[in-house]
Each structure stands twice: as C-alpha cells, then as structure tokens.
A and B are shown apart, each in its own frame.
Chain A
Amino acid sequence: METEFETGPSRYRHWQVHYDGDIATVVMAVQPDGGLREGYELKLNSYDLGVDIELADIVRRMRFEHPEVRCVVVTSGTDNVFCAGANIHMLGLSSHAWKVNFCKFTNETRCEIEDAEAFSNQVYVAACNGTTAGGGYELALACREIYLIDDGNSAVSLPEVPLLGVLPGTGGLTRLVDKRRVRRDRADVFSTTAEGVRGKKAVKWGLVDGVYPRSKFDKAIRARAEKLAKTFGDGLLRGERKGVTLGPLNPTKEPGRRAYKHVTLEWDAGTRIANLTVAGPSAEDVALVERGADAIFAAGDQLWALRAMRELDDALLYLRVNLMDIGLVLVRTTGDAARTIAHDKALWAAREHWFVNEVIRHMARALRRMDLTSRSFFALGEAETAFAGCLLELALASDRFYLLDDPDNVVHVAVGPLNGPGVLPMSHGCSRLEAHLYGEPDKLEAVTAAAADGTIYEPEDADDAGLVTVLLDDIDWDDDVRVAIEERASQSPDALTGMEANLRFPGAENATSKIYARLTAWQNWIFIRPNATGPSGALTLYGRPERPRFNWGRV
C-alpha cells in the first residue's frame, strides 16, 4: 500500500490540538490500533511514520493557519507516559529502507519545530507529564524548553544503546551536547542508562529545564507558556494575524504519473528513472505578487510560490517512500526566466509581511527536502526549460546541471534575490550558490552581486559564471545526456547515496547538518550490523525471549 503524506486536522488520529489565543497545546494520544501498517500496536504513545506525518502537518499548519500562536506546548494525553519513542516492533518489522526514510522524516519534522522558533516566533515547550523515552525525549529536545513531571518515577531517557543496540535516531545525541550543551561525559552516562534520569538530577545535568510535582505541573507549564508567548510576541513581522488555510493538493494519480497543478512526477520502473518538472509562475502569478503583500496574503494557498513548493515537497516525499527503485531523477523547470526573476523580486520586496515570510521559509524547507533525498538528481536545461531564481535552486540542489547551448532554443539561467545568502539556506546554513562555488570565491562574489538585482544569463555566460556542470550544443546533447543517464543508472545505489550526501554539503557544519550527516550515517550503518539486526542482534531480539549476543569486534 502506498503512503501519502497529506493529511489535515479532521483526519488526525493520534493528536489533539487546542488553541487558546497565543498559546496552543498539542496533545499526543496515540491510538494503539492506528498504526500505518499491520503487525504492531502503538502502545504508550509510541509512534510510527503515520503519527509523525500528523505531527509534521500540525507544525506546518501552526505557522500558516495559526500565526497568532507564539508558544506551543507539546504534552501527552496518555496516562503516565509522555512518549515512548519510535515503536520498536514497527522498527523490527520494517525494511532497512523504511527505517531510514522514517528516521529522515522524523528528523525533518524536529528541524521544522526548531525552524518555527528561529523564523516564525513560534516557540515549542515540551511538557513531559510522564515517561519520556527515546524518540519521546528527542521530540522534547527539539523544543526550546523541556519540563518534566517530578513524581519520583517519570524519567527522561535515551535507552537505544543499552536496550536496542542502535542509536537514538532523531538527533538525540547531537542535540544533547550541541544544543543543550550537556557535558559530554554526562551525556555518555545518560545515553547508556536505560532507565534514564529523573527529578533534580535531570535538571542538574541540563537534560530538562525544570521539574514540577504533579499538583503544580499544569499551572507551572501554563505560566511558563504565557511568559514565552509574551517574549516571543515582540518584534513580530507585519500583517494581520489571520490564518491561511492549506487546502488539499489533490494530485492526479495514474500509473507512472503523479500530476499537480505546477509539478509533475513521472517515472519508469524499467529504466528506474523519474522526471520531475516544475512549472514557473505565469504572467498572472507575477502580476499578483507585484501588487504587494496584501494581494499575496489574499491569494492564500493558491499563491504560486506556496502551492508549487507544497507540491514539490509532496512529490519528493512520495518518491522517497513509494518509489524505492527509482534511482535517478531528471529535473526540469519551465517558464519565462525574466518572469520568474520578476516574481522573486516582488516576493522578496514583500518579505516583511508574516505570510510572505512563511512562504519563503516554506520554500527553503521544501528545497532542503530535496538536498536530503537519497536519489541522484540531474537538472536538464534542455529546450523549453528555464532555470531562474527560486527554480534555479532545483538545479543547484541537483548533483549535476546539464545545459543546452543552442541559438535556436535559448535556455535561460537567471539569478535573483532568492538565490542570495541566507534566503533559502541548506541544512548546514549555506546558500546553494555558496555551496556550489565554495572553491571559487571570485565567481561567488560576482554571481551574488548579480543576484541582488536579478540577472539573466545566456547559456555560455551561465557556464562562465560557474553555474553549469556540462554545457552541450544541440549536436552533442542527446547522446551525451543519454550516456550520462545510463551510466548513473548502472552504478551502486548505496555508493551513490553516500557519495552524494558527502558532496552536496561543502563548507562548515552546524548542529542540524551534523544530525543528518553524522548521525544518520552512523545510525544507518548500525541498523544493518548483525549486532543490531542480525539473528541474535539486540533490535531483532527485543521483546523476544532470547537475549542478544554481540560480536565483540570493534570496527
């Protein structure tokens, strides 16, 4: 059965959301029989991908549909447990690829929580009113502050290493030492103690920000939420704080094809290749944006920049979990280059409006989803395409960019304000231009200057500017591109995944990129090691009568 990522408040099974002015309360109450797949029960607020898809939806809608909310309290509606983390039996039953995709998506959701605090003045607080274990604590770690009930029993813990022989897969280790700055030796003790740490010691070690007894817990959380809501109510962007509803995308689904309004995904199982096409803004779309922030706000979820990027996001997620054998995605963007740059300039000019800010931030997240998708992407600048402004980002996110140099079919490449530093950053904080021209500072400076005012390049100029991997004339185009595609499709998918993840992120790391790069690489390796998932591995045997037997060799 295929997994879809679109959902909405009326369809939530595992969460309740209460809105009260500038404070929202998100209550986790996982339905044990509501697993996405068969064969496991989601007991004790444990989660699977289905539960996290709902959380991601809540976090996204909070920004668009509830811009009045400043503080979001995450808590549990299940007795004595905040969240027990990812469901172990689900992990045990899942293929390696499923586990990896699940972890990647949950990581992206945790990062969205932090992104909301950084860019939308929406701050999350974890009100851990019971046992907070594994992924449950990692969810709490994604929040700005963590409060734990002090009942002599409830603890925060990361029991993955001692209990399951794997790692906390949702950024727990990195956030402990990098975000919360827990001393690394204490983090070592904490991460190898299955029962975790509770009470005053949890505060002393910096694992939580405070503990309150049961009788005072709700009141203390409320007081803290009010204070944070007030603090984060300062310096808000302009615009009426009225929500913009995110309607369903309703893609047309056919065998081998998934078509949205602006995005089309087509694939062929035989060649293991997909075609991803994004249509740029129309003249009307540009005219609307040029009318300014109020008109953009009024367009709501039909705004091209929002709709096209939501579609791109959904297509990438669909591809990740449903089209496992598709290894290479050919990326094309269409539309008039000058028009797209005009669009970007107008959107950028209106960025002081909260909704426009949200649209740009959302665009950044959708593009990061692409950076983090383990498929080869080749951008094909062939006839009838144009790679301009925000759509050029798709070429820069791709592993290679092939551009046609044909006087009869001129393909324009253009840079604009959205390509500038800090606007649509990758997960490690660089813009894609910065990452792309990391070794060519002169070119970077030139193209950055060109982006500020908007510049349209002829193919050869784009190549000179350093934006193109291979420039091909019309005589060579067909054959060279065909060979490149066939070659790529023949190489080891594992090696390509690793290689691409290494090459896509030049430059310095930050906590977020560490989470994705270091942790997922280690976690994914540990997941397939016999000590975890072999016949006598700890994850395999969890819940079974036998106890794990390890191969003691260090690798």
Chain B
Amino acid sequence: MQPSTTVDLNAKIPNNVGLADDPKLRRALEKWLPSYLEWWNDMGPTDFADKPVFLRTAISVDSSGWAHYDHIKMPDYRWGIFLNPRKEGESVVRCGDDAGKPAWQEVPGEHRNALRRIIVTQADTEPASVEQQRLLGHIAPSLYDLRNLFQVNVEEGRHLWAMVYLLHKYFGRDGRDEADELLERRSGDPDKPRILGAFNQPCDHWLSFFAFTMFTDRDGKYQLAALAESGFEPLARSTEFMLTEEAHHLFVGHTGMQRIIQRSAQLEKIDPNGDVRNQGGIDFDLIQRTINYWFTYSLDLFGGEISNNAADFFGAGLKGRYREFRQYDEHRALRGSYSLPVVDGSKLVDRDVPLRNAMNEILRDEYIKDCEKALRKWNQTLEQEGSDRRITLPSRRFHRHQGIYAGHFFDPQGNLITEEQYEQNKHRWLLVPEDNDYLLSIMKPVYEPGKFANWIAAPRRGIEGNKLEFEYVKLHD
C-alpha cells in the first residue's frame, strides 16, 4: 500500500497510511490511544489543558498542508501518523552492503531486533522531553514562548505516535510491548529512567529549555536524518516527516538562546558596573556554563566514537550518514578510515578507525558544524549589540559520559587534565545548584500579550504573520 499525500482527518487517528483499510492495526492503535492520553494527562503540560493554544497541525504531508494554524486545546490536538511521500527512484537501500537494492517495505528478519532497538531508543526520547518540560509553562517569559513550548510538546507527542505506529505495524507482539513500555518509563525516575542520559537530566527553567531544544533536539535532528536514510522505508519516511517538525524546535532553541544573549548584552550596557545579574538578567558565565552542560550531554547521545553498533547499522543499511543519498557517491564505506585523537596514557594520539566504525563520530561532526554555525550567529548578535563578549562551544572531549573520552578529564578547550584539576574547576565550567536557584528566582511568568520577561529580548516577529501582541495562548476566556 502506497501511502498518499492525503490525510484522513476524519479518522480517530489522522493518518496517511491507510489505517481505515487495516482494521487490525487500527484496533491496536486505538487501544493504545487511551493509554497515551492518560500519559499525556499525567506527564504533559496538564495545568494548561483547557487553554486554547495557537498550534500548528499537519493536515497533509505536502509543503502546502503540513502547517495549519488554529487555536485548539492541547488534549484535542490531532496526533496523527504521517509518512513523507517519496519520489520514484529514491526507494532504495541507501547505505551499506545492500546499497542500491530496493528498499524494504517490511522488516527483514535478520535486522528486526536492531531496528526495533533503534526505533525504541528514538521513540523513548519523545515522551521524555515532554516530561522534562512539563512545569515550564508556569514560568514562561511570554505567551509567545509559552505557545512555542506547547507546540514543541505536542509535536514530540506526535513523534511518539510516529514511532509507535512503526512498532505496532511491523514488530508484532514485541513491538506492542515496547510501545506500552514507552508510556511506563519516566524521565529522571531512578527506577524507570528514560533510556538515554540527557533525557533524564532536569530541565527546570527556560535557559535549560532553550539550551535543550538548541542542542539536544539538534541531536534528534541528526539521528532522524540518519534514520531517514534507512533501507527500511517506513522508518525513513516517518523520520523525514518528523524532520520538518523538528526544524521548528531547533528554531525555538536557537532564537531563544539568541534572545537571552541579546538581552544580557543590553543589560550589561545598562548597568553602571556592567553587572547583568544586578539588572535581573542572566550573566554570560552562566550562559556559557549552560551551553557547556547541554552541548556535552547532547554529544553523548551520538554513541561511542569507535562503535561496532554504528558499523553494523551502517553495513546493514539501517542508518546512513547525514544526507547519505544526496551528499555521498560511495555508499558502502568499506574502505577508508577516520582519524581521531584517543587517550594513550597521559596524552592524546591520533588513531585511524575504519570508516564504518566511525559513523557515530562522522554524524557528530555534522552536528558540531551545525552548532558552530549557531554560535557564530549568537556572536554576531553580541557584535551588533556592541558587546565584546563572545560565547564558545566546548571541546567534544569535555564532560563526556559516553565513548572514548568518558572516564578521562578534559578542560573545555579539550586539553587532558587531572581529575583534581577538573574537580577544582568544574563549578566554573558546568551548571551548579546555585545557578538553578538564581534562574528560578528571576523567572516569573509573564502572561500579558506582547510583554516579555526582563531577562529575554522580544523575538523579531510573531508567528504566522501575527503580531507579538497576538494572544498565542488564551489563558482567560
């Protein structure tokens, strides 16, 4: 069955995968739906459940229809299942030993477990971030930001649907069990933690929210992009459509950080002593510590630098490089190597790793390049504001919990240091509990249309042609 671009909006679960013609699957998903709503009510932004939010909903998967705006209450949001259309000639395995052969429309038996693991790991991040962000609405800096938060939340929920569809449709009983467990794990719960580290870190305030959507969601973009190159076509087309939504999340993170940086530069100028905190703003050291923290936790999400799994996934055609199909000519990657510094005793020495085993690192390279681009933009903002301050990205070796640099100690420049040196300095490099106290003390909700908290600049423009004064979330009837 070729999914069309038309979305069946009248169905209980909007979709373009022909759910109406697949009663077994439809029943299974309709059975999962109440559990999902229960989870959303327990762990989502529940306190705002009855407030109409100016949300974007996909009503078709082509470029004209995927963004339809309207005020709706979040529990009424139409979580649906959408697969991107695919042009003729693109339905091929895009990487690995089978590159060039027709893409798989069903799960090949030999890759079933690996694919399920990949999908479950990706799926687990979606509800996790909703859980991490569930209380942020109470300290939103504006209705504009509040709306963006909720837009991100509902779309993460939809991404969970996209993955759960795959689990239900292609992975039988095991897939259904996994889908149930996705609703049982809880971010930060020591007994039922989410699978990946960054998704168990607290996200208590908006500085972390923006850093999270900037850095951690950006990992998501690259993971989704790598999966969009998968030889398992339903996965590739699901993730392609998710990427269109994910772009907005990155926009929220990137511009959120940029607006904080801009405001801090303004406050530094205003204050006679250049003391941003004195003006109720967020000082640059704290901003830098936040970047150091979230960037490095996000780097961990790419997995080990030298990885058997990465080689297997690539070789099997399950996960490609970033833009594998368009950007590369040679898709087998059996020859060639990748050089990276490894710790050898007390120094770093370069080591050549077979290309396939370095696929995580190759994807991480693309990610870091992307982050550097954002950093340049923020520094341009500082320049425009007449500030001499500059924000930097820490080294990829700093503060790592996964991969070959974990267990060693580096400064933010990437120099190997002793544990003692690290312990002495880490309060200067990473978020400390007092940072949280301070940020929570300045983050009071601003719910008046068009108004913004003192610690953040207003965005350049509103959403979908609306003014900043537009009531993006209707808190009062």
A152, B195: Cβ atoms under 8 Å?
A: yes
Complex Cα–Cα for A193 and B109 (A): 12
How far in angstroms is the closest Cβ of chain B from A199? 8
Q: Which B residues are in CB contact (< 8 Å) with A543?
A: 308, 311, 357
Q: Which of A162, A544, A547 contacts B316 (CB 8 A)?
A: A547
Complex Cα–Cα for A193 and B113 (A): 7
Q: Mark A206-218, 1 if CB is under 8 A from B, else 0.
A: 0000000111100
B191, A545: Cβ atoms under 8 Å?
A: no
Interface residues of chain A: helix, strand, loop or mixed (majority): loop
Determine whether B78 belongs to the interface, using a CB cutoff of 8 Å to chain A: no
Complex Cα–Cα for A214 and B184 (A): 15
Complex Cα–Cα for A393 and B59 (A): 83
B191, A150: Cβ atoms under 8 Å?
A: yes
How far in angstroms is the closest Cβ of chain B from A104? 27
Q: Which B residues are in CB contact (< 8 Å) with A370?
A: none
Complex Cα–Cα for A194 and B333 (A): 25
B316 and chain A: residue at smallest CB distance: A547
Determine whether A153 belongs to the interface, using a CB cutoff of 8 Å to chain B: yes
Q: Of residues 298 to 313 in B, which have CB atoms within 8 Å of A's CB atoms?
A: 308, 311-312
Q: Which of A195, A542, A545, A546 contacts B117 (CB 8 A)?
A: A195
Q: Of residues 541 to 555 in A, which have CB atoms within 8 Å of B's CB atoms?
A: 542-547
How far in angstroms is the closest Cβ of chain A from B294? 21
Q: Mark A512-554, 1 if CB is under 8 A from B, else 0.
A: 0000000000000000000000000000001111110000000
Q: Which A residues are in CB contact (< 8 Å) with B134?
A: none
How far in angstroms is the closest Cβ of chain B from A63? 35
Determine whether B192 belongs to the interface, using a CB cutoff of 8 Å to chain A: yes
Q: Which of A152, A216, A544, A547 contacts B185 (CB 8 A)?
A: A152
Q: Which B residues are in CB contact (< 8 Å) with A542?
A: 308
How far in angstroms is the closest Cβ of chain A from B43? 15
Interface residues on A, range: 10 to 19
Assuming the contacts A151-B193, A214-B190, A547-B316, asked whether A195 and B308 have C-beta atoms less than 8 A apart, the reply is no
Complex Cα–Cα for A546 and B357 (A): 10
Assuming the contacts A152-B181, A194-B113, asked whether A544 and B191 have C-beta atoms less than 8 A apart, the reply is no
B357, A151: Cβ atoms under 8 Å?
A: no
Q: Mark A186-228, 1 if CB is under 8 A from B, else 0.
A: 0000000111000000000000000001111000000000000
Determine whether B315 belongs to the interface, using a CB cutoff of 8 Å to chain A: yes
Complex Cα–Cα for A213 and B113 (A): 25
B193 and chain A: residue at smallest CB distance: A151
B195, A544: Cβ atoms under 8 Å?
A: no
Q: Which of B181, B184, B192, B354 contacts A544 (CB 8 A)?
A: B354
Complex Cα–Cα for A213 and B195 (A): 15
Determine whether B97 belongs to the interface, using a CB cutoff of 8 Å to chain A: yes
A194 and chain B: residue at smallest CB distance: B113
Complex Cα–Cα for A543 and B315 (A): 12
B177 and chain A: residue at smallest CB distance: A201
Q: Which of A153, A162, A215, A545 contacts B333 (CB 8 A)?
A: A545
Assuming the contacts A545-B334, A545-B354, A547-B97, asked whether A151 and B311 have C-beta atoms less than 8 A apart, the reply is no
Q: Which A residues are in CB contact (< 8 Å) with B357?
A: 543-545
Q: Which B residues are in CB contact (< 8 Å) with A213?
A: 190-192
Q: Which of B181, B184, B315 contacts A546 (CB 8 A)?
A: B315
A546 and chain B: residue at smallest CB distance: B334
A32 and chain B: residue at smallest CB distance: B407
Q: Which of A152, A153, A547 contacts B315 (CB 8 A)?
A: A547
Q: Which A residues are in CB contact (< 8 Å) with B316?
A: 547
Determine whether B218 belongs to the interface, using a CB cutoff of 8 Å to chain A: no
Max chain A C-beta neighbours (<10 A), residue from B113, B181, B190, B193: B113
Complex Cα–Cα for A508 and B461 (A): 84
Q: Which B residues are in CB contact (< 8 Å) with A215?
A: 190-191
Complex Cα–Cα for A213 and B184 (A): 13
Complex Cα–Cα for A546 and B334 (A): 7
Q: Which A residues are in CB contact (< 8 Å) with B308?
A: 542-543
B192, A152: Cβ atoms under 8 Å?
A: yes
Q: Which A residues are in CB contact (< 8 Å) with B282?
A: none
Complex Cα–Cα for A362 and B288 (A): 63
Q: Mark A127-164, 1 if CB is under 8 A from B, else 0.
A: 00000000000000000000000111100000000100
Complex Cα–Cα for A215 and B188 (A): 13
Q: Mark B184-214, 1 if CB is under 8 A from A, else 0.
A: 1100001111010000000000000000000
Determine whether B228 belongs to the interface, using a CB cutoff of 8 Å to chain A: no
A545, B192: Cβ atoms under 8 Å?
A: no
Q: Of residues 328 to 380 in B, which have CB atoms within 8 Å of A's CB atoms?
A: 333-334, 354-357
Q: Of residues 15 to 36 in A, which have CB atoms within 8 Å of B's CB atoms?
A: none
How far in angstroms is the closest Cβ of chain B from A516? 31
Complex Cα–Cα for A547 and B334 (A): 10
B355, A545: Cβ atoms under 8 Å?
A: yes
Assuming the contacts A152-B184, A193-B113, asked whether A547 and B312 have C-beta atoms less than 8 A apart, the reply is yes
Q: Which of B113, B184, B193, B333 contacts A195 (CB 8 A)?
A: B113
Complex Cα–Cα for A151 and B197 (A): 13
A152 and chain B: residue at smallest CB distance: B185
How far in angstroms is the closest Cβ of chain A from B360? 13
Assuming the contacts A545-B311, A545-B315, asked whether A151 and B191 have C-beta atoms less than 8 A apart, the reply is yes
Q: Which B residues are in CB contact (< 8 Å) with A152?
A: 181, 184-185, 192-193, 195
B195 and chain A: residue at smallest CB distance: A153
How far in angstroms is the closest Cβ of chain B from A185? 15
How far in angstroms is the closest Cβ of chain A from B226? 17
Q: Which B residues are in CB contact (< 8 Å) with A544?
A: 311, 354, 357
How far in angstroms is the closest Cβ of chain A from B310? 10
How far in angstroms is the closest Cβ of chain A from B100? 16
Q: Which A residues are in CB contact (< 8 Å) with B333?
A: 545
Q: Mark B155-193, 1 if CB is under 8 A from A, else 0.
A: 000000000000000000000000001001100001111
Q: Which B residues are in CB contact (< 8 Å) with A150?
A: 191
Q: Which A residues are in CB contact (< 8 Å) with B334?
A: 545-546
Complex Cα–Cα for A543 and B334 (A): 13
Q: Which A residues are in CB contact (< 8 Å) with B355?
A: 545
How far in angstroms is the closest Cβ of chain A from B331? 13
List 14 additional contacts besides A545-B311, A545-B315, A547-B312; criterion CB under 8 Å.
A150-B191, A151-B193, A152-B181, A152-B184, A152-B185, A152-B192, A152-B193, A194-B114, A195-B117, A213-B192, A214-B191, A545-B355, A545-B356, A547-B315
Give 19 pairs: A residue, B residue, CB < 8 Å, sorted on A: A151-B193, A152-B181, A152-B184, A152-B192, A152-B193, A193-B113, A194-B113, A195-B117, A213-B192, A214-B191, A215-B190, A543-B311, A543-B357, A544-B354, A544-B357, A545-B311, A545-B333, A545-B334, A547-B97
A interface list, Cβ under 8 A from B: 150-153, 162, 193-195, 213-216, 542-547
B interface list, Cβ under 8 A from A: 97, 113-114, 117, 181, 184-185, 190-193, 195, 308, 311-312, 315-316, 333-334, 354-357
Closest A-B pairs by Cβ, 8 of them:
A213-B191, A545-B356, A545-B354, A547-B315, A543-B308, A214-B190, A152-B185, A545-B311
